Amino acid sequence: MLNSYLHLNSKLFDKDAEQKPTRDGYGEGIARLGLTNPDVVVLTADLSESTRCEEFARKFPERFFECGVAEQNMAAIAAGLGVSGKIPFISSYATFSPGKNWETIRTTIVYNKSNVKIAGHHSGIVTGPDGATHQATEDIAITRAWPDIKVIIPCDWIEAKKATIYAGETEGPVYLRFTRDKTPTITTDKTPYDGLKIQTFWVSENPAATIFATGHLLYYALLAAKNLSEKGIEVLVANVSSIKPLDGEKALELVEKTGAAVTVEDHQVIGGLGGALSEFFAKTKPVPMEFIGLQDTFAESGAAIELIKKYQMDEVAIEKAVKKVIKRK
């Protein structure tokens, strides 16, 4: 059953349930921060509309910097602002930032512990028709490898707004990951949020496996849990919004209840959530695991829903993975 005490969206599984891209939450979050903290500044690389910086730019033009198509310059400028008392947010497509400007972020922002927030937009295969060149599916791996950075992936637009505000109020480099396509609204304004904690969104008695999901694919994990429950198979579903630092204490608690784990992410299975959890469980409690995500391949162009099905990230694939991992216990 959905964890009702967390105030999740009661209409989540309805056909007409609300859907919005997580980038909308980012736009609302930076606008809110702009009102409450005069040190917040926003930079973008000729993508103010796509990355939802427009409202901030209209309200605070003196704190908005249009850097043009120059992601490396944008990162270096932000690094200087971040060590000078400002709180910069840099906004671009994730394939360009942190993709194209990876080394600049590493050397000028992360190495110097500059207080910069990196907003990577158009992540995952749900970027859809733009194809592999714009579908960021390696960004979790390349950012979590940096020392002392937080990597946060909101599950919906409401959590994205909360995550953006949290990042602005947190000292040090943060990577925030957002989607372009509309995705289901899972949480509500009343859902508790702690940017670094794992939350259990589906609870059951005598669960046989734990599904750890991050980002918008949490919806498919919850749908799989619902379908499995109707077939007599009970699971736990956890929302892992922070990949780094990983909430190891909660992850261990959940996997000790079930003895098996499935990870779900719109990312390569190499180096993302699955990699982070398997590294952790190898040191603490080795368990059978299955991994939902891109299986060492680029995705094609196409409608987001079609790509999720083709690359086996939907509820059907998750159900199969759960049944498979239970047999391996």
CB 253 within 8 A of CB 279: no
Number of other CB atoms surrounding residue 220 within 10 Å: 23
Closest to 177 measured CA to CA, from 7, 63, 23: 23
Q: Strand 209-213 to strand 235-239: parallel, antiparallel, or no bridges (unpaired)?
A: parallel
Indicate left, alpha or beta for 222 from its phi (over 0: left) and psi (-120 to 50: alpha). alpha
CA dist., res. 251 & res. 200, Å (int) = 10
Catalytic option among 28, 71, 138, 234: 71
In the 8-state DSSP scheme, what is residue 65?
E
For 63-97, b/e burial (b = at least 16 CB within 10 A) is bbbebeebbbebbbbbbebbeeebbbbbbbbbbbb
Q: What kind and span of H or E run contains 258? A: helix 248-258
279 is catalytic: no
Catalytic positions, written as ranges: 71
